[in-house]
Amino acid sequence: MRGTEKASRGASRRAFLQGGAAALGGAALAVGGRSAWDAAAAEPRPVPEPPDAAGRATVAFRGVRQPGVDTVPQSFAAFVALDLVDGVDREALVRLMGIWTDDVQRLMAGRPGLTDTEPELAAVPARLTVTLGYGPAVFTAAGLEDRRPTWLRPLPPFGVDRLEDRWNDGDLLLQVCADDEVTVAHAVRLLVKEARTFTTVRWVQRGFRRSPGTERPGTTMRNLMGQVDGTRNLDPAVDPDLVWHADTSRGWLAGGTSMVVRRIAIDLDTWDELDRSGREEAVGRRLDTGAPLTGTREHDEPDLDAKGPNGFEVIGSFAHIRRSRTDDPEQRFLRRAYNYDDPPPAGALSDSGLLFVTFQADVDRQFVPIQRRLDELDLLNEWTTPVGSAVFAVPPGARDGEYLGQGLLGAPA
């Protein structure tokens, strides 16, 4: 099955739906040929999961879309931004894409790279995905400025931004995700060293979520402020057009998307000063269940008009979930965030935050308006500060026989 995980654990919703469809088809066939009772009796018993199932799981590489976007988020991620060295042109980019395509295909299948000096480290794919993004400079280097999407540029400045250049922008991006940190480190090392005559490393940001097998699949992630984070995330299976440029659309980006990487520092020291009710009011959700303050379960619809006994709105006018909501159904995007917790500078207790990573068909139409609303007013701004920002175009996937980016770089000029 293309684009789905092979392991039973952590299977994506899409995988589940497809698997369900396949099972239904099988059942229908069985019913056609035999009695329903026979079909039920023939149902295979659940096979016990081998202890290393999480490590053996793989995600398909080949396809119309790149993996690592609608893949259920793995536990660990590295975001590696690279800059092209002088002199890299379209021909050189094609060579680089050929190298990376081969490496990524091998690594995602749990096989060593062609020149892998640590082949044993490749034996645990752990749902490894590598997702490639292009910054604006790729289009300049390739002499293809006319094909650069209009939204592919730095985000407009926001009042809350305190951007540091060391976390900004980049000519190329590799998002490397797996359910194992050794797998991520090895893949990053191989991909970066294979590219060393074409690129230099601009920045690397590493992030994490809960480890495999530590909580129920499908649980919404928590950030390091303790909040359930991403309850109202869009489902790419339900709203594919908000994530992808339609597979059948014209142009090289068909099957592609865009990626925003924002590094959001969290001041946990001042967050610590806030009591639990204050924390819940800042967001508008309960900390334990993630339910809106007007509901009881995580996915309950917030009642923004509800008033408390004193006449004030239950979900305050500054609350994050009120500010991030919009009546425009197009102003949504797929969030795929990771926590970070890096060594603190001298004298500080921590350097923690969120790698706020989003995928959307159009940055300007979907992402920027929401960011503007939050910039204007969001109680969470008191404790969160964007310190890095980058935008990338995510080319379509590599179909059989293709290299990544072939639709852009391989097309006639």
Partner 1 sequence: MSAPHRASPYVTNPKDTTMTTIPTPIRTSPRARLLAGVGALSLAAALGACSTGTADAGGDTAAAAPETTEAAALTIADPWVKAADAGMTAAFGTLENGSDTDVRIVSATSEVTSSMELHEMATGDDGAMVMQQKAGGFVLEAGGSHELSPGGDHLMFMDLTTPVQPGDEVAVTLTAEDGSTFEFTAPARSFSGANEEYHGDGGDMEGMEGMEDADDGAGHGSGDSGQDDGEHADS
Nearest approach, Cβ of residue 110 and partner 1 (Å) = 15
Nearest approach, Cβ of residue 153 and partner 1 (Å) = 25
Identify whether the C-beta of residue 168 lies closer than 8 Å to the C-beta of residue 104. Answer: no
Q: Which residues of 179-195 are buried (b: 16+ CB within 10 A; e: fewer)?
A: bbbebbbbbbebbbebb
Within 293-332, the residues that bind partner 1 by CB under 8 A are none
User: Which range of residues in 91-99, 236-244, 260-268, 346-354 is near partner 1 by CB under 8 A?
Assistant: 91-99
In sequence order, what DSSP letters do the residues of 255-322 get, joined into one string?
Answer: T-EEEEEEEEEE-HHHHTTS-HHHHHHHHTB-TTT--BTT-SSTTSPP-TT-B-TTSSBSS-TT-HHH
The pairing of beta strand 257-266 with beta strand 172-178: unpaired
Within 98-137, the residues that bind partner 1 by CB under 8 A are 98-99, 102, 114-115, 117
Within 48-87, the residues that bind partner 1 by CB under 8 A are 85-87
Q: Which element (helix H / strand E) includes 108? A: helix 90-108
Identify whether the C-beta of residue 99 lies closer than 8 Å to the C-beta of residue 229. Answer: no
State which residue, 93 or 291, has the beta carbon closest to partner 1: 93
For 172, the 3-state DSSP assignment is strand
Q: How far apart are CA 405 and CA 413, in angstroms?
A: 14
- Residues in CB range of 171: below 8 A, 6 or more apart: 81, 82, 83, 84, 134, 135, 136, 137, 138, 141, 199, 202
Residue 229 a catalytic site member: yes
Amino acid at 23: A
Identify whether the C-beta of residue 258 lies closer than 8 Å to the C-beta of residue 346. Answer: no
State which residue, 90 or 373, has the beta carbon closest to partner 1: 90
Identify whether the C-beta of residue 289 lies closer than 8 Å to the C-beta of residue 298. Answer: yes
Closest-CA residue to 191 (of 180, 179, 212, 177): 177
Which position among 2, 34, 166, 193 is part of the footprint of partner 1 (CB under 8 A)?
A: 193
Nearest approach, Cβ of residue 217 and partner 1 (Å) = 36
State which residue, 102 or 330, has the beta carbon closest to partner 1: 102
Number of chain positions touching partner 1 (CB under 8 A): 23
State which residue, 88 or 363, has the beta carbon closest to partner 1: 88
Amino acid at 136: P
State which residue, 97 or 126, has the beta carbon closest to partner 1: 97
Which position among 35, 140, 197, 270 is part of the footprint of partner 1 (CB under 8 A)?
A: 197
Nearest approach, Cβ of residue 410 and partner 1 (Å) = 14
Binding mask 198-217 for partner 1 (x = CB under 8 A): x-x-----------------
Note whether 140 binds partner 1 by CB under 8 A.
no
Which position among 30, 39, 64, 94 is part of the footprint of partner 1 (CB under 8 A)?
A: 94
State which residue, 314 or 398, has the beta carbon closest to partner 1: 398
- Residues in CB range of 34: below 8 A, 6 or more apart: none
Which position among 88, 172, 314, 370 is part of the footprint of partner 1 (CB under 8 A)?
A: 88
Nearest approach, Cβ of residue 143 and partner 1 (Å) = 12
User: Which range of residues in 188-196, 213-221, 226-234, 357-365 is near partner 1 by CB under 8 A?
Assistant: 188-196
State which residue, 2 or 95, has the beta carbon closest to partner 1: 95
Q: How far apart are CA 163 and CA 386, in angstroms?
A: 6
User: Which range of residues in 61-69, 74-82, 96-104, 223-231 is near partner 1 by CB under 8 A?
Assistant: 96-104
Nearest approach, Cβ of residue 91 and partner 1 (Å) = 7
Catalytic residue, candidates 229, 300, 341, 342 = 229
Q: Pinpoint the alpha helices (H) of 147-199.
A: 181-194
State which residue, 99 or 184, has the beta carbon closest to partner 1: 99
Nearest approach, Cβ of residue 67 and partner 1 (Å) = 22
User: The tokens of 32 are what?
Assistant: 């056609």
Nearest approach, Cβ of residue 111 and partner 1 (Å) = 9
User: Which range of residues in 24-32, 57-65, 93-101, 218-226 is near partner 1 by CB under 8 A?
Assistant: 93-101
Q: How far apart are CA 233 and CA 134, in angstroms?
A: 24
User: Which residues of the chain form contacts with partner 1 (CB under 8 A)?
Assistant: 85-89, 91-92, 94-96, 98-99, 102, 114-115, 117, 193-198, 200
Which positions are catalytic?
A: 229
